[in-house]
Amino acid sequence: MDTFFAQLPKDFRYAVEIRNAILLGPDYRKVLESHGVAHVYNHWSYMPPLREQHHRMEDCFTAPFTVLRLLTPLRMSYEAAKKRAEPYTKVVEELPEMRRDTVELVKKAVGEKRTAYVLVNNRTEGNAPLTIQALQNALQTMGT
């Protein structure tokens, strides 16, 4: 990855989303950080919780911005998440750990003067706009 990132144009922002938790760690973090590439924190079937991902990244962001993708409940396949969430008209199950971790990571990023992007999928809790509203409310409550 180091060679690849070194060859990319410098006038763009880059982020990497991995879906294999074994890759998370100091070596991965250092490569991303040396090129100003963001790690995409993903709440996805087979990844650890967002907070644990940050811990494995030595509690450090790797770029002037960060990205969080809230995709599916942990330990649930895409197909099961889709079936559970359809027709996407309501929150079918709140994921308090995901919400808490998202708010904490956004607050930490903003506190470090980084931009935070949060992308929410309907399959996460059942209705992305309602999840976004809950996250926004939590951030406002915390004074962010």
- Residue 93 included in any domain: yes
> Does the structure show a pLDDT above 70 at 125?
yes
Give the total number of structural domains in the chain: 1
Distance CA 139, CA 84 (A): 27
Question: What is the pLDDT at residue 143?
Answer: 65
- Could you report the per-residue pLDDT of 45-99, keeping only the tens digit for each? 999 999 999 999 999 999 999 999 999 999 999 999 999 999 999 999 999 999 9
Residue 92's domain comprises 8-141
- Residue 2 included in any domain: no
- Residue 85 included in any domain: yes
* Overall average pLDDT of the 113-120 stretch: 98
- Residue 3 included in any domain: no
Do residues 69 and 121 touch, judged by C-beta distance below 8 A?
A: yes
pTM for this structure?
0.94
- Residue 132 included in any domain: yes
DSSP 11-36: TS--EE----GGG-SHHHHHHHHHHT
The CATH number given to whatever domain includes residue 115 is 3.20.20.410
